[in-house]
Chain A
Amino acid sequence: MAETALTHTAEAPERLPGWRGIAADWASDQRAFKNVSWGKAMMWIFLLSDTFIFSCFLLSYMTARMSTTVPWPNPSEVFALNFAGKHIPLILIAIMTFILISSSGTMAMAVNFGYRRDRVRTAALMLVTAAFGATFVGMQAFEWTKLIREGVRPWGNPWGAEQFGSSFFMITGFHGTHVTIGVIFLIAIARKVLRGDFDVGRRGFFTSRKGYYEIVEIMGLYWHFVDLVWVFIFALFYLW
């Protein structure tokens, strides 16, 4: 944290009971969220804003899907693969989802080791998370390629409503961009962890501020958010 956590408990007046106490505590001086660093607060608020972006995308897609007069292509057919001689619906998407959820697990472990200042394990787990993320994006690219080969375009597709293709490419593309950005930052932060930047207080190249191990947790917040958004996309786009 760039600033010392300063919660002034010794001088605090006695707490009011009930909601008034909560409100007074929240409104008290210096920090609304006690012992929450600036960076973490900023990430939470950014994620709230980003939630609105994804909500708008998904609501627009659902509006298009509900109001179209042309039949909507059946996702379990479209996203089926011939796998080991069998025709399995949604198999690729299931694997992708599994990989992304697993990456949340490795990320959580990285945060844990980060607070223990175990540089090697933290960096290794972050790189594993990044690898999972990159695999996810790679499989998404495979999915795109397959659909494009089958004639799906943003402006039309062989099976029905043209909003299918446009929504699919837009939403998965926007989510994939988030994952890609996450992978890049995971690698960058893993490098800093491994190099010991947070132990020696080395200053950032751009910001010229010192970093702290908490950045691993802030990175984790973003990563878990991207995973959570995928769950909604999975449910609303593929399973509907």
Chain B
Amino acid sequence: MVDIPYDRIADIPPAEVPDVELYHPRSWWTRYVFSQDAKVIAVQYALTASAIGLVALVLSWLMRLQLGFPGTFSFIDANQYLQFITMHGMIMVIYLLTALFLGGFGNYLIPLMVGARDMVFPYVNMLSYWVYLLAVLVLASTFFVPGGPTGAGWTLYPPQAILSGTPGQDWGIILMMSSLILFIIGFTMGGLNYVVTVLQARTRGMTLMRLPLTVWGIFTATVMALLAFPALFVASVMLLLDRLLGTSFFMPSLVEMGTLSKYGGGSPLLFQHLFWFFGHPEVYIVALPAFGIVSDLISTHARKNIFGYRMMVWAIVAIGALSFIVWAHHMYVSGMFPQFGYFFATTTLIIAIPTAIKVYNWVLTLWRGDIHLRVPMLFALGFIITFVNGGLTGLFLGNVVVDVPLSDTMFVVAHFHMVMGVAPIMVVLGAIYHWYPKVTGRMLNDALGKFHFWVTFLGAYLIFFPMHYLGLLGVPRRYFELGDAAFIPPSAHSLNAFISVVALTVGFSQMVFLFNLAWSLFKGEASGGNPWRATTLEWQTPETPPGHGNWGKELPVVYRWAYDYSVPGAEQDFIPQNQPPAATRVVQGAAS
């Protein structure tokens, strides 16, 4: 039996597919700049996010220079250091990862993978990008305003975020809040598009349970973002009012520079609740698209169907739902009612169950697979390893008693960089190697890619693994310099210097990747339409790169799930989703 009927509607007769009314560009401007085509918008999102991400990368070098060699670099002072960590964190989490996964990969892959011609409302989709660009420009402008960007830490906790003495108190914090509000408005326009496209614009035969896991990950993350960003929006508006109008939503009465401030009666804890009601789902907004994409990378390059597809889908949904009731595990030391900790520790540990299911399923997909160690697969394997590492330290930090001594140490830095820094970036890089041929029609250079992978993967481990040890020693995070604290041995300082050297090396090795991207665009080997011999719809487009409207005259019809790899009896080791069952049987008959 060649055709595995995956669900009850396995055989769907080809049906008339309505032609969707598309906006056709009439000039160079509307084709490449103010384009309404999701694929162009995706590239615009990805380039903008990467550009601002490079700024954040440079900021991390400056931080590492200071931490590794304190006192050596006179051009970094304490205020600047605080500004660097703030901007590094905010850019990486929101303006790079969120925008790249949802705006970049979401825009490119959703319409292609579900078999649509475009997003449902291309004009709104275009506006989404331009508002996002405006948000990025407002954010970048804070480097040039008097006082510089805010140095409140990426969590922007009041009261210190808006008190004098915090760098960027005059313009930085105002522009940061404005930029976040803009980002959320822009994201909402895009996010509504992604959700409605997945729900209402799938092609004939594409049931929800036949969606590639990439789409499930991006879809669930977008739904979460639409429900979590409102909390950040409200927190940003209120903090902005506190700063600009002198309201006291978050500001208690306190003494500032020796005088009683004008504020009184507000609750700093309220901000933390609002922030983390956004902030924790945000972790999974970044992680779920990575989960989805990595499932597809592993399945494609191991030539095996994903293990436990249904379980994978439900795990994604369960993680998404649970992530809304764990937020206060970021606040064990905040002074909130201590018994809340029991509830939030419990939910936090429960979320480890669906996450562990996913990890097991990835490993079981690899088990006895026909593993091709191509660059995307290497990055996918790198993701599993870094993610498991970061996930396990998350269990430490999710427990109140373990978290309290580890709070605000380098252990936390190591944890979240492993789990939502390095791990998703591994997936981003793997995904770029995987889909670059579809976007450009050319392969990325393999040798450069392997070099890039090994330096990045080993380097990232060498950077963040020792940080756990530093954190256990008690080395605090966010400190400009450590001074001569008795509990910090000299070896910790040499370890810091080591980490800095590795960090700079890994950072510069990314230039190899950028070179590869640019060089392969012109000189790369032509890829053909389906270089990885993958099943999902985006590889079955009539043209590569896909033309305007994605499909030719007719939309594809889907007959099977996305993971028909190495089906026994089939002629090839993959069966595209749009291949009719009858055709497979004929092929089988001919072969035997």
**CB contact list, A12-67 vs B, under 8 A:** 12-13, 16, 24, 26-33, 36-39, 41-42, 45-46, 48-50, 52-53, 55-57, 60, 63-64, 67
| B474 contacts A by Cβ under 8 Å | no
B247-A166 in contact (CB<8A): yes
| A82 contacts B by Cβ under 8 Å | no
| A240 contacts B by Cβ under 8 Å | no
Smallest CB separation, B24 vs chain A (Å): 9
Complex interface: chain B residues within 8 A of A32 (CB): 199-200, 208
Complex interface: chain B residues within 8 A of A27 (CB): 207-209
Selected from B20, B234, B265, the residue in CB contact (under 8 A) with A161 is B265
Q: How many Å lie between the Cα of A12 and that of B204 in the bound state?
A: 12
**CB contact list, B389-448 vs A, under 8 A:** none
Selected from A39, A56, A163, the residue in CB contact (under 8 A) with B248 is A163
A24-B270 in contact (CB<8A): no
Q: Known contacts A60-B238, A154-B245, A207-B23; decide if A30 and B230 are in contact (CB<8 Å).
A: no
Q: How many Å lie between the Cα of A174 and that of B248 in the bound state?
A: 18
Q: How many Å lie between the Cα of A70 and that of B253 in the bound state?
A: 12
A14 nearest CB neighbor, chain B only: B8
A162-B247 in contact (CB<8A): yes
Selected from B12, B207, B227, B237, the residue in CB contact (under 8 A) with A48 is B227
Complex interface: chain B residues within 8 A of A67 (CB): 267
User: Number of A residues whose C-beta is below 8 Å from B?
Assistant: 55
| B262 contacts A by Cβ under 8 Å | yes
B226 nearest CB neighbor, chain A only: A49
Complex interface: chain B residues within 8 A of A30 (CB): 200-204, 206
Q: Known contacts A45-B195, A45-B226; decide if A166 and B241 are in contact (CB<8 Å).
A: yes
Q: How many Å lie between the Cα of A206 and that of B127 in the bound state?
A: 11
Selected from B18, B199, B262, B266, the residue in CB contact (under 8 A) with A64 is B266
A209 nearest CB neighbor, chain B only: B21
Complex interface: chain A residues within 8 A of B18 (CB): 3-4, 6
| A2 contacts B by Cβ under 8 Å | yes
Selected from B21, B234, B266, the residue in CB contact (under 8 A) with A57 is B234
**CB contact list, A148-200 vs B, under 8 A:** 154-155, 161-163, 165-166, 170, 174
| A86 contacts B by Cβ under 8 Å | no
Selected from A6, A42, A165, the residue in CB contact (under 8 A) with B192 is A42
Complex interface: chain A residues within 8 A of B233 (CB): 53, 56
A26 nearest CB neighbor, chain B only: B208
Smallest CB separation, B468 vs chain A (Å): 35
User: Number of B residues whose C-beta is below 8 Å from A?
Assistant: 57
**CB contact list, B194-224 vs A, under 8 A:** 195-196, 199-210
Q: Known contacts A11-B13, A45-B195, A46-B188; decide if A2 and B208 are in contact (CB<8 Å).
A: no
| B469 contacts A by Cβ under 8 Å | no
A163-B266 in contact (CB<8A): yes
A42-B248 in contact (CB<8A): no
Complex interface: chain B residues within 8 A of A174 (CB): 237
Contact flags B237-267 to A (C-beta < 8 A → 1, else 0): 1100100011111000000000000101111
Smallest CB separation, B214 vs chain A (Å): 17
A170-B237 in contact (CB<8A): yes
B207-A154 in contact (CB<8A): no
Complex interface: chain A residues within 8 A of B8 (CB): 13, 16, 24
A49-B227 in contact (CB<8A): yes
Complex interface: chain B residues within 8 A of A68 (CB): 265
A165 nearest CB neighbor, chain B only: B247
Smallest CB separation, B203 vs chain A (Å): 7
Q: How many Å lie between the Cα of A33 and that of B209 in the bound state?
A: 15
Complex interface: chain B residues within 8 A of A24 (CB): 7-8
Q: Known contacts A42-B192, A162-B264; decide if A31 and B274 are in contact (CB<8 Å).
A: no
Complex interface: chain A residues within 8 A of B204 (CB): 8, 29-30
Smallest CB separation, A211 vs chain B (Å): 11
Smallest CB separation, B189 vs chain A (Å): 9
| B485 contacts A by Cβ under 8 Å | no
A53 nearest CB neighbor, chain B only: B230
Complex interface: chain B residues within 8 A of A13 (CB): 8-9
A210-B206 in contact (CB<8A): no
Complex interface: chain A residues within 8 A of B234 (CB): 53, 56-57, 60
| B123 contacts A by Cβ under 8 Å | yes
Complex interface: chain B residues within 8 A of A46 (CB): 188, 192
Complex interface: chain B residues within 8 A of A170 (CB): 237-238, 241, 247
Complex interface: chain A residues within 8 A of B270 (CB): 60, 63-64
Q: List 8 A-B contacts (CB under 8 A).
A: A2-B20, A29-B207, A31-B202, A41-B200, A45-B196, A154-B246, A162-B264, A170-B238
Q: State the 5 A-B residue pairs at the shortest beta-carbon distance, nearest first.
A: A166-B247, A27-B208, A52-B230, A56-B234, A155-B246
Q: Which residues of B contact A (CB under 8 A)?
A: 7-9, 12-13, 15, 18, 20-21, 23, 120-123, 188, 191-193, 195-196, 199-210, 226-227, 229-231, 233-235, 237-238, 241, 245-249, 262, 264-267, 270, 274, 277, 558
